[in-house]
Amino acid sequence: MEENGRKKIILTGDRPTGRLHVGHYAGSVKRRVELQESGEFEDIFIMIADAQALTDNADNPEKVRQNIIEVALDYLSCGLDPSKSTLFIQSQIPELTELTFYYMNLVTVSRLQRNPTVKNEIKMRNFETSIPVGFFVYPISQAADITAFKATTVPVGEDQLPMIEQTREIVRSFNHIYGEALVEPDVLLPDNKACMRLPGIDGKAKMSKSLNNCIYLSDTEEDVRKKVMSMFTDPNHLKVEDPGEVEGNPVFIYLEAFCRDDHFQRFWPEYENLDQLKAHYTRGGLGDVKVKKFLNQVLQDELAPIRARRKEYEKNIPEVYRILQEGSQKARKVAARTLADVKAAMKIDYFEDEELIQSQAQRFQA
């Protein structure tokens, strides 16, 4: 559980602005469960980032509040296990806000303006000239989230890379000025390329609630089937005999992300693996409906146990809130220890520093 004498610790999370979809699952939640089961990590912290969600939803607290329980249910039903991973809510850890305030001194406005994720989101939200300050500085608060838990490992999707880079800069700068109090984290990206960025069912680059192109983890079996059967494929593959394009074809990207050879054995023994299926599709003579039916079977196979676990937790919602409360209490203790280290390093621990009081007393007696 140690690397170079450091304990391996995970911190990651999601903004509660909607239910989680299969893009979240493929890109990160599934991996977290594998990491949780690997036994390689001393501690795993999974955060519902409500404070960050409020940075661009300040006028809609109810949306954030409603989605906290949705995301928690999604986590638990995917197999995140509160006895192995600490699930908590960001806003319940005031230490994170305090750390953010001190880290702000280590980051320039122009550095934030250059952060590609922030730049992109400002464009997407049409903020341009009216960017909320809280939103603008959220990369700094994200650095607080990560460092508060002395995380060594941050498993996230590719879009979060600039955030981790910004965190590493803050850590280096803090440690340089104040002494080694913080841990520089490493990012852990999905190892399957298709999982990195699952497109929407309409073929658009990203699944997004506003585009109405997501398959949600909490969708019913029938919803999933309908969505898969309506998926965008190769627009030039009009007749079954036509050669088809697998590159950039959402149906094949999803298969790339989810199907295993045993799915072929169980559901479509005509092919041994995805390569054979792709070869047939590329050659021509394979209709989209057949491929979609197979994708539906693969997805249902993956989602059925998730759906079943969700049903169980839905019967006991107060218990889910209790899990989050206990997780938040534990997370708070850890963050408080880091904040104490940070304040000592920054020399703002006046009342904890007996030596300071004594030496000042002497100075004024002399």
Phi, psi of 282 (to 5 degrees): -65, -40
- Smallest gap, in angstroms, from Cβ of residue 140 to ligand TRP? 11
Task: Please tell me whether residue 13 binds ligand TRP under the rule CB under 6 A.
Answer: yes
Instruction: State in angstroms the smallest separation of the CB of 160 from ligand TRP.
Output: 6
Nearest distance in Å: CB 39, ligand TRP: 22
Q: Is residue 289 within 8 Å of 42, Cβ to Cβ?
A: no
- Asked if 339 touches ligand TRP (CB under 6 A), the answer is no
User: Which one, of 112, 301, 336, 131, lies nearest residue 225 by Cα?
Assistant: 301
CB 291 within 8 A of CB 39: no
Question: Is residue 15 near ligand TRP by the rule CB under 6 A?
Answer: yes
Residues 41-70 interacting with ligand TRP (rule: CB under 6 A): 49, 52
115 binds ligand TRP (CB under 6 A): no
Rounded to the nearest whole angstrom, what is the least distance from the CB of residue 265 to ligand TRP in the complex? 36
Please say which residue, 67 or 233, places its beta carbon nearer to ligand TRP. 67
Report if residue 79 touches ligand TRP, rule: CB under 6 A.
no
Q: Is 188 in the site for ligand TRP (CB under 6 A)?
A: no
Q: Based on the shown chain and the rule CB under 6 A, indicate whether residue 28 belongs to the binding site for ligand TRP.
A: no
- Nearer of residues 15 and 310 to ligand TRP, judged by Cβ: 15
Q: Of the two residues 52 and 77, which places its CB atom closer to ligand TRP in the complex?
A: 52
CB-nearer residue toward ligand TRP: 68 or 295: 68
> Is 95 near ligand TRP (CB under 6 A)?
no
With CA atoms as reference, report the closest residue to 127 among 119, 117, 139, 115.
119
Chain residue whose CB lies nearest ligand TRP: 49
Task: Using alpha carbons, list the distances in angstroms from residue 213 to 1, 21, 230, 339.
Answer: 40, 10, 10, 42
Using the rule CB under 6 A, which residue among 9, 10, 12, 299 binds ligand TRP?
A: 12
- Select from 9, 118, 140, 156 the one that contacts ligand TRP (CB under 6 A): 156
Per-residue contact string for residues 132-151; x = within reach of ligand TRP by CB under 6 A: ----------x--xx-----
Bridge pairing between strands 86-89 and 43-48: parallel
Of the ranges 154-162, 207-215, 306-314, 342-350, which one interacts with ligand TRP (CB under 6 A)?
A: 154-162
Comparing CB distances to ligand TRP, the nearer of 155 and 250 is 155
Stretch that binds ligand TRP, among 9-17, 244-252, 256-264, 336-344 (CB under 6 A): 9-17
* Residue ranges in contact with ligand TRP by CB under 6 A: 11-15, 49, 52, 142, 145-146, 154, 156, 160
